[in-house]
A and B are shown apart, each in its own frame.
Chain A
Amino acid sequence: EVQLLESGGGLVQPGGSLRLSCAASGFTFSSYAMSWVRQAPGKGLEWVSAISGSGATTYFGDSVKGRFTISRDNSKNTLFLQMHNMRAEDTAIYYCATGLRGAFDHWGQGTLATVSS
C-alpha cells in the first residue's frame, strides 16, 4: 500500500524558513516524480513544485520560484521542500503527491505551515 507521510510544518515568522519532509513507502520511490501541492485556508489547490525520479530535474510555480527548493533522498525514500523567505501567503496545508501516469493518485495527509508574527 502506497503511503505518503508529511512532517515539518509549524509556525514561522515572516522571512523565516521551514523544511518539510515526505516519507514514502509501498512503491519504488526512485521511479516516480514527486510533487508538492498546497492549499491555503479556504482556498483551492496550488501546485508548488515537482522533482523527477532521479532528482536531476526540478520545477517550481512562479509564486515560490527563487524562495523554495525541492530535493529527494532516494536511499531514504524521502522528499523535501525547503522554504525560505516565507510570506503570509505561504500559509497553507502542504501535501506531497505522486502518480504513475502523471496525475496524482496518491496524496499524503498534509502538514500545515503557518507564517505569522
Chain B
Amino acid sequence: DIQMTQSPSSLSASVGDRVTITCRASQVIGGYLAWYQQIPGTVPKLLIYAASTLQSGVPSRFSGSGSGTDFTLTINSLQAEDVATYYCQKYNSAPLTFGGGTKVEIK
C-alpha cells in the first residue's frame, strides 16, 4: 500500500508568515491529492483537491501544488484562525490513506 508522509509534524509561525507543509507519497499518485484542515473540536474541512484546486469558499491564501509523489500546501500570510491540524490524503485508489497530520500553531 502507498504511504503518505507529511512534514513537519508540527510548526509554529507568526501571523503574516508564509507556511509550507509537504506531503510525500511512497508511489506515484498522479494529481489525486487532497488537503484538509481540522480546527480543534471540529470536523475536517476540505481545502484543496486535485493537488491544486481550491475548494469553493476557501480563502485564497491557501494554495496547493505538486504531482506524482511530492505535494505542498502553502498558507500565504498565516492568520490566527488558521490554527489547526492539516492532513493530506491520496484518493486515486483504495486505501484512501491520510498523512499523519501537521499541527500549525501561532508563535
Contacts and interface: CB of A to CB of B under 8 A. Distances in A.
B32 interface: yes
B36 A45 contact: yes
Interface of B: 1, 32, 34, 36, 38, 43-46, 49-50, 55, 85, 87, 89, 91-92, 94-101
Contacts, number: 61
Given A44-B101, A105-B46, A59 B87 contact: no
Contact of A99 (B1, B46, B87, B97): B46
Nearest to B46: A105
Interface in A18-75: 35, 37, 44-47, 50, 59, 61-62
A35 B96 CA distance: 9
28 contacts: A35-B96, A44-B87, A44-B98, A44-B99, A45-B38, A45-B87, A45-B98, A45-B101, A46-B98, A50-B94, A50-B96, A59-B94, A95-B44, A99-B49, A102-B49, A102-B92, A103-B46, A103-B49, A103-B89, A104-B34, A104-B36, A104-B44, A104-B46, A104-B89, A105-B46, A105-B49, A107-B44, A110-B43
B55 A105 contact: yes
